[in-house]
Structure 1
Amino acid sequence: MSATTPFLRIDTIIVRVRDLAHALPWYRTLLAAEPVYFDGGEGLAVLPLSNTSLTLWQREPGDTGRAAVGRAGTYPILAVADADAAHTFVGAHGGTPEPVGTGAGVRYFGFTDPDGNYLEACQVL
């Protein structure tokens, strides 16, 4: 089955961590990579890999670290060339998209698949 899709590749995988300051050195060593983006206030660090990236995101205080769903868990961010077109596509194909947001040089939206799994689409501006 061949179909046109707005999704280009997996852009990044989110990994929630208890303490970014503690986790980042370990991941830097593990992946032999320096962050291409860091936001200490938001608790984010993006480490490049060959065709994707790994984003460390510090959990909220009180988060027990148990397996979680939605943004509290691990999920893929899919690269798109046009966030609005991807948003329309997801809605037309059984997904449940959130509104498109803008921030830090990107346009993005989260959505769930028909089973309730959380994903995100991201357009780099």
Structure 2
Amino acid sequence: MFKVGSVFIPVTDLKKSKKWYQDLLGVKLIDEWDGGAGFYFPDCPTQMGLVQVEKPQPSEFSIDKNKKNSYYNFLVADIDEAYSHFNRNGVRTSEIDEWDGMKFFDFIDPDGNPFSVVNEVEGSPFHREEVKRMQENE
């Protein structure tokens, strides 16, 4: 019944952020409105919106006093290539880490918004093919 349609990211410089997200994430512009712009990912039905704000807004939540979590992550097939892509382009990232076979790293956008990049792990219950099987068996 429900699907995730769009995720929204607060940005303080819409023009600069549009270019940054198009160049770094490969998103394609759908349309613009007063104070925002919508994009699609070439290989994903979820859309992304950038919304102009006056000052940076939190795009993460605290798990405990020393650990924070972004609200969503970006999925890639080749995490090493994604990591190299960001680093070649001067994007601030964490090191690639691994947990239970899944590799991931964090990156920061021009407004300081932190996001994670993850790869899929064959056999994981969270792998898209496993989720697809669960959906088909409902």
Q: TM-score range by the shorter chain?
A: 0.3 to 0.5
Higher relative contact order (CA 8 A, sep 6+): 1
Between structure 1 and structure 2, the one with the greater Rg is 2
TM-score of the pair, normalised by structure 2: 0.40
